Amino acid sequence: MERLDYEFAAGQPAPGRTVCGVVSSGDLEVLLEPGTAGRTTIAVQTSVDGYGATWNALLERVFGTGDLPAARIEINDNGATPGVVRMRIEQAYEQATNNGGKP
């Protein structure tokens, strides 16, 4: 198991908090809460060691432009592929926007 921490520039705080996904084989759980304006923090807990470079590349691609709402994100990953990770993050933002954060 490995822990990775990230910080990215971001926009205004996300409109609400939400959770999506399950820590099942090949899947992950994303917890998203509103962050302080201008900054998104991501704490990753992953079952697969040694994939830091892949996480860097993936999260840089999603958050690198700095225009997503600011959030405190916790990711609990059980060996999801980068595609699944990206979809779960996008799902979390969509849910947070649509339901005002009700999980």
Partner 1 sequence: MSVEQLLGRDSFIERGARSRAQALLDAGTMRELAGPFERLHSPWLAMQHLVTQADDGVIVAKGRLDGRPTVVLAIEGAFQGGSMGEIGAAKIAGALELALRDHERGIPTQAVIVFETGGVRLQEANLGLAGIAEIQSAIVALRRHVPVIGVSAGSVGCYGGMSIAAGLCSWFVMTREARLGLNGPQVIEQEAGAAEFDSRQRALIWGLTGGEQRVAARLADACVDDDTAAVRATLVDLFARGLPAVHRSDRAADFLACLERVDTTRQATAQDVRDLYSKGLE
- Give residues in contact with partner 1 (CB under 8 A): 1, 17, 19, 22-25, 27, 29, 31, 33, 45-47, 74, 76-78, 103
The distance of closest approach from Cβ of residue 60 to partner 1 in the complex, given in angstroms and rounded to an integer, is 23
The distance of closest approach from Cβ of residue 29 to partner 1 in the complex, given in angstroms and rounded to an integer, is 6
DSSP assigned state of 62: H
Q: Which is nearer to partner 1, 66 or 103 (CB)?
A: 103
Q: Which of 51, 43, 45, 42 is nearest to 2 (CA)?
A: 45
Decide if 30 contacts 19 (C-beta within 8 A).
yes
Q: Which is nearer to partner 1, 30 or 70 (CB)?
A: 30
The distance of closest approach from Cβ of residue 3 to partner 1 in the complex, given in angstroms and rounded to an integer, is 10
- Alpha carbons 29 and 75: distance in angstroms, whole number: 6
The distance of closest approach from Cβ of residue 102 to partner 1 in the complex, given in angstroms and rounded to an integer, is 9
Three-state SS string over 26-61 comes to CCEEEEEEECCCCEEEEEEEECCCCCHHHHHHHHHH
